[in-house]
Amino acid sequence: MSSGTPPAGAIPPILLVGCGRMGSAMLAGWRDQGLAPSVAVDPAPGAASLAGPDLTVVPGANAIPPGFTPAAVVFAIKPQNATDTLPRFARFAGRPVFLSIMAGRRIAGMRPLLGERAALVRAMPNTPASVRQGVSVTHAAPGVDAAQRALCDRLLTAVGAVAWVEDEALLDAVTAVSGSGPAYVFLLAELMEQAALEHGIPPDLARLLARQTVAGSGALLAASADESAALRRAVTSPGGTTERALDVLMHEAAWPAAVRTAIAAAVARSRELAG
């Protein structure tokens, strides 16, 4: 397979390793912008459904079409699989940039698996990428040139906002806050729905109230220039129902302690995954 000349303005040929939830979300974002003929590697039977004129799907690295030259190799696999998977793509080192979205896997741990010539970028996106509302925090290793950095930026902005950091160690905390963060929000919606049911609200209405309140509040937060604390205070009338509820949630032993403890646990796990 030859990548040929990509259409004007298209994202250049990509080798996507892993077509799970995040890999598929990124692929959809790239396709929205136009994607030059690319290759995805995933042994799962369902991955074949992603194939099209712009994408060849193969089950393993040994099935990548001869002559295919990607501009970037994107690792969208579980971090626990990195040791076995990454060396299969080391032959590409020195040409494309390697973009990893694996949680916890540090550049120092990936370089021996890919070789000293590998240009490495780490990013931590989150699942709202599937609706182009994600946020990715990104770190480039020494040796990544401006063009490679710009390509990684384009690949990630296709699914949301991007921020770059010079200190790779920050990605552990980023993983705990934004990478895992959607699950915290979904849990809030889940608990609100359960509480509504306990107070006699019918199931369909309980779900509507919980989901739309969380989604609408997020949209308001995104649209407002105010601090989140200011938006909270604007909803809280003195002596009202919201104030009474927040007296419970904001007690030092409640949400403040729980959120700090939860994020600290996620940071610790991210560091453990680094090996």
Q: How many CB atoms lie within 10 A of CB 62?
A: 8
Q: How far is CA 271 from the centre of its chain?
A: 17
Give the three-class secondary structure for 130: helix
Convert the pLDDT of each residue in 159-201 to its tens digit.
Answer: 999 999 999 999 999 999 999 999 999 999 999 999 999 999 9
State how far the Cα of 271 lies from the Cα of 108, in Å rounded to an integer.
13
State how far the Cα of 25 lies from the Cα of 30, in Å rounded to an integer.
9
Q: What is the pLDDT of residue 273?
A: 81
Half-sphere exposure of residue 93, counting CA atoms within 13 Å on the CB side?
Answer: 18
Q: How many residues does the chain have?
A: 275
Residues paired with 162 in a beta bridge: 136
| CB 85, CB 75: distance < 8 Å | yes
Q: How many CB atoms lie within 10 A of CB 17?
A: 22
CATH for 14-171, options being 3.40.50.720, 3.30.360.10, 2.60.40.1080, 1.10.1740.10: 3.40.50.720
Residues paired with 15 in a beta bridge: 39, 73
| CATH code for the domain defined by 181-273 | 1.10.3730.10
Helix 203-223, helix 181-198: angle, nearest 10: 140
Phi, psi of 70 (to 5 degrees): -80, 155
DSSP letter (8 states) at residue 56: E
Where are the chain's structural domains? 14-171, 181-273
| 14-171 and 181-273: identical CATH topology | no
Q: Please enumerate in sequence order all residues whose Cβ is within 8 A of that of 61, keeping only pairs 6 or more positions apart, or say none.
A: 17, 41, 88, 89
Tens-of-pLDDT digits for all 275 residues of the chain?
Answer: 444 455 557 899 999 999 999 999 999 999 999 999 999 999 999 999 999 999 999 999 999 999 999 999 999 999 999 999 999 999 999 889 999 999 889 999 999 999 999 999 999 999 999 999 999 999 999 999 999 999 999 999 999 999 999 999 999 999 999 999 999 999 999 999 999 999 999 999 999 999 999 999 999 999 999 999 999 999 999 999 999 999 999 999 999 999 999 999 999 998 888 76
